[in-house]
Structure 1
Amino acid sequence: MSSSAQDIRFQAGEHGAVSGLVQAPADPLACYVFAHGAGAGMRHAFMAAVAQGLAERGIATLRYQFPSMEAGRKRPDPPAVAHATVRAAVDQAARRFGALPLYAGGKSFGGRMTSQAQALQPLPGVAGLVFVGFPLHPAGTPSTGRATHLTDVRVPMLFVQGTRDELAEIGHIRSVVSTLGRLATLLEIAEADHAFHVLRRSGRTDEDVLQQLLDGMAAWLQPQTKPA
């Protein structure tokens, strides 16, 4: 059983205070620090559904705003500001959840900023990263250049990717995951786009997709909590 989300505020380094939401079951197994994408904040329906679904599966979440979203600006923060915010959010999660296994990542832009921060300097206490729609390239121009920094990430990574994602052509994301070797796992969501929507003719529904995504994330997170 999950609880409702609790509003928090914290300092994003020298970039001012930002809002956050903490949601957790009574006895969580782990905590996932969940950053939003470039175009929608932490209260977006998809973000809320993922947080709720993970809580029902035993995983706490800490969602948070990047400073640009907090201020209502349309342009995303530059990487240095986003990285500082990721680090501040991870610190908040560590303070609130103590010895629980800690994971970080996010939807699209939020996941990429988290991976960049981790590649530059490991996020304290973070045992792995989860990307919900990693934005591998701009729409219409498939490439793997945005994945170069991932070779400097030394913790396990889960890529949750729709097979129709226009920002991560499935063949290219498979190549990236293969190159990363044992540290990377790919969860393919058949027929889903970057927003994890499916076409009616696919025979699937958005709810089918959400449940597969949640079950896959929870199954990956929970084994990671067990001693080696």
Structure 2
Amino acid sequence: MTTQTVGTAAGDARITWHRARKARLVLAVSHGAGGGIEARDLQALARTLPGHGVTVALVEQPWRVAGKRLAPAPGTLDTGWRGLWPALTEPGLPVVSGGRSAGARVACRTAGELGAHAVLALSFPLHPPGRPERSRAGELLGAGVPALVVQGGNDPFGKPEEFPEGDFELVEVPGGDHGFAVPKRAHLTQEQALEVICDRVAAWTGTLR
């Protein structure tokens, strides 16, 4: 594991690299608006995917590196992501652009212009809680590259059945909330929920050519 600081027009960002020995892809994933790269799903992917030939780059947006508590406007998030992109492509491998929640929106909005190989959207915030009329489906549908959405079955920002049909794959984590936490009485444990995420993402990355 190595850490790299990258200057962007939005401030300094940080990449924590989890490298595969024989990598064929880079999966770059950023955090949401209310947390960091310590999120359970991001950490699980960083532990698991290098064993499948995928280098994982956990990205901290400039506002997090600066110690701020609130995320800036979407345009500023996109600026930070654009500024990071040359460092993510430096290994010379195809880059899957990804993130959780707000980070997933950034990945979708910028995938085409940056030449992302594919998009991984973890807990895509399809709409604000209780406001399904304020859909953000257009961002996902407009990614323009192969996309995988991993969504908790009880995510208040959009349950799997609320997603429109489109050119993307969708995986449900049964009982999972926006952070993929599952109730204690769920039919699968928290560890099993993370295994669902890692297994499906590993299988999906294996289909990317």
Structures share fold, TM-score greater than 0.5: yes
Judge conservation of contact 2:128–2:134 (CA < 8 Å) in 1. no
Unaligned runs of 5+ in 2: none
Q: TM-score, structure 2 length as denominator?
A: 0.93
In 2, distance between residues paired with 1:69 and 1:82?
A: 11
Amino acid at match of 2:36: G
SS at match of 1:105: strand
Deviation at 1:45, TM superposition (A): 4.5
User: What amino acid is the match of 1:167?
Assistant: F
Measure how far apart 1:162 and its partner are.
Answer: 1.1
1:51 maps to which of 40, 46, 61: 46
Deviation at 1:198, TM superposition (A): 1.0
Of residues 3, 13, 25 in structure 2, which corresponds to 1:7?
Answer: 3
Secondary structure of the residue aligned to 2:179 is: coil
Partners of 1:158 and 1:185 within 8 A in 2: yes
Deviations 1:148-182 (A, max 9, x none): 23333211110001111111123212xx2x1x2xx
Pair 1:64 & 2:55 matched: no
Q: Residues 27-78 of structure 1, C-alpha deviation per residue, up to 9 Å, x if partnerless?
A: 1121111111111112444422221121232211111211211112122121
Contact 1:144 1:172 in 2 (8 A): no
Q: How many pairs are equivalent? A: 209
Give 1 or 2: higher helix fraction.
1
Cα distance in structure 2, aligned partners of 1:90 and 1:52: 22
State TM-score, norm by structure 1: 0.85
Gaps of 5+ in 1: none
State the alpha-carbon separation in 1 of the partners of residues 81 and 73 from structure 2: 12
Q: Is the Cα–Cα contact under 8 Å of residues 128 and 156 in structure 1 kept in the other structure?
A: yes
Q: 1:143, 1:60 → 2: CA distance?
A: 38
Superposition map of 1:199-210 within 5 A: 199-210=183-194
2:188 aligned counterpart, secondary structure = coil
Give the Cα separation in 2 of the matches to 1:122 and 1:51: 26
2:68 to 70, 73, 81: 73
2: CA distance, partners of 1:43 / 1:203: 25
RMSD of the TM alignment (CA)? 1.6
Where in structure 1 do 4 or more consecutive aligned residues deviate above 4 Å? none
Match of 1:105 in 2: 98
